[in-house]
Structures are given as structure tokens and as C-alpha cells.
Amino acid sequence: MADAEPTFEDRAEVVDAGFLEVAEAQMRASFLTDAGLEARLADTASALLVRTLESVPPGQGKALLNEAGETVYQVDRDRIVLAAMSIMGTKALRVIRAARAVLASGFESEARALDRILVELMAHRGAILDDRTASEAMAWLRRKRKYGISKRVAAMGNREVYENLCVDAHGDPEAALRLRDPETNTIELGPQRGPGTRASLLLYAGFARDHAGLVAELSDATSIRGMDRLDVEIDAAWQRLKSESGA
């Protein structure tokens, strides 16, 4: 009697999954060689944002919630905006650190879904800062800005960038087809790294730097030294990346 065809469960027991960790470990090992400067700038700006958020005096950067879980008004406009910026900074920080970890393992296109969140936060941040009444900050805190983000991003002049990031954030086939090798007509399953990794890291550095400066200014409780030097380094890194990539 012929042996029964092995089931999927049988195959799963004998498959050696170690090659996955090996491939990703190799990418992590080469991360600082390939994008060390950009990673350092992202880390420096992230650390700056952490320390700035930690320095906000108790009560200043906190939103007040009623029994229904809705945000209620703080004392004045700057405190309302500071509450929004503190919460936004917390979200942005976690997104940046998560995206950095994804990039380190070589999943560059997958990190763009996280980049998209930062672009959306930029749009919300800009709208809040442009509003002198704090009503925009309150609307964001009260979760009333869940829709219409595409128009807000477009108003920033970043429509094309945002649409490109959205491709990798959605479940349609285009994101996977971008990984296709035109010569072999095959799709790369494993991790890989290109100039996009460095660009994303500089996006993180710029966002964290700007947000740290904004929170420090609004809280009026801390001063940041060396910001000019960080600005010069981030700008120089962008120029170097554009030159090397022919942009």
C-alpha cells in the first residue's frame, strides 16, 4: 500500500524556518553600514523628542477627559495645542521606532505604511498650528478628524508622495508587483534595501526634530541646545542622498 501523501501539518513540522531569521539577521547586521548616518540622525532626533515630551510639566500637556471619554477644553489655546502635540508626539515616536525596526530587517516597502502615518500627522499638525482658536486641536483630540485626510495632505503639496505611500498600505496587488524584477519577471520574497531606507530615516529625523522643537516651545519649560547643528546634518544628509540617487 502506497504511503499517504503528507499533509500540510506534516510538512510544517519538518520545514526549517531558520533561513528566514538568517536572511533578516544579515540585513540587520548590514543596516548601520548601509544607512548608518541616517539611522544616527533618526535616533538622535527620536531621543530628543523623548526627552522633550518627558520634560512637559504635569498637567500642561495632558488632555482632560469627561466620563464619556471625550476631550474637554484646557485653560487656554496654547495648553490645548500642547495637549494635542504631546499625544501626537507620543504616537509619532512609536511609529518612528517601529518603522526603524522594520527597515533594519530589510522590509523597506512595508515601512512605507508607517511613513504614511507620519505624513498624516504632519497634515494634522499643520492644521492645528495654523488655527489660532484651538478648535482644530480640539477636533483632532475629540477624534473628529478621521476623514478627509487626503485633502489635507494634498493641501500640503504632498499628494503624489501620499498616494505613493498609500499603495504600500493597502491590500491590493500593486505593492507586491512593485517588487517584481522586470528581467526575470519574478517577485522578490526576501528582505532588501535601497535608497528608500535612507530617505525614510531622514523623514523620521526631520519629523522628530520639528516636533521636539514645537513641544519645547509650547511648554516653555525646556530649552534645546544643538538644534542648529542637527538641522545642518539632516539637510546635508538629504543633499547627499539626492546626489547619490540622481534625484
Residue 17 clears pLDDT 60, i.e. is over it: yes
Spell out where 14-78 has E strands.
Answer: 64-65, 71-72
Q: What is the mean pLDDT of the chain?
A: 86
Residue 203 has a CB neighbour count (10 Å cut-off) of 20
CB contact at 8 A, 128 and 84: yes
Per-residue pLDDT, 145: 84
Q: How confident is the model at residue 210 (pLDDT cuts 50, 70, 90)?
A: very high
Per-residue pLDDT, 12: 56
For residues 229-246, give the mean pLDDT: 94
- The residue among 23, 74, 7, 43 whose CA lies nearest residue 208 is 43
pLDDT tens per residue across span 89-101: 999 999 999 999 9
- The residue among 68, 94, 95, 73 whose CA lies nearest residue 83 is 73
Share of the chain above pLDDT 70, in %: 85
Which residues 6+ apart lie within 8 Å of 19 measured at CB?
none
pLDDT tens per residue across span 38-97: 999 999 999 999 999 998 877 654 555 555 655 555 457 888 899 999 999 999 999 999
CA distance 35 to 88: 27
Q: How confident is the model at residue 4 (pLDDT cuts 50, 70, 90)?
A: low
Residue 186 clears pLDDT 70, i.e. is over it: yes
Highest mean pLDDT among 23-32, 65-74, 211-220: 23-32
List the domain boundaries for the chain. Answer: 27-179+193-222+233-238
Per-residue pLDDT, 161: 75
Torsion, Cα of 227, 232, 234, 240 (10° steps): -170
Highest mean pLDDT among 82-96, 181-195, 217-231: 82-96
* 3-class secondary-structure state, position 5: coil
pLDDT tens per residue across span 126-175: 999 999 888 899 899 888 887 777 777 777 776 777 777 787 878 888 88
Q: How confident is the model at residue 11 (pLDDT cuts 50, 70, 90)?
A: low
Look up the pTM and report it: 0.84
Angle between helices 195-219 and 108-130 (to 10 degrees): 30
CA distance 86 to 66: 19
Question: DSSP secondary structure string, 11-29?
Answer: HHHH--THHHHHHHHHHHH
Per-residue pLDDT, 156: 75
CB contact at 8 A, 172 and 116: no
CA distance 232 to 220: 24
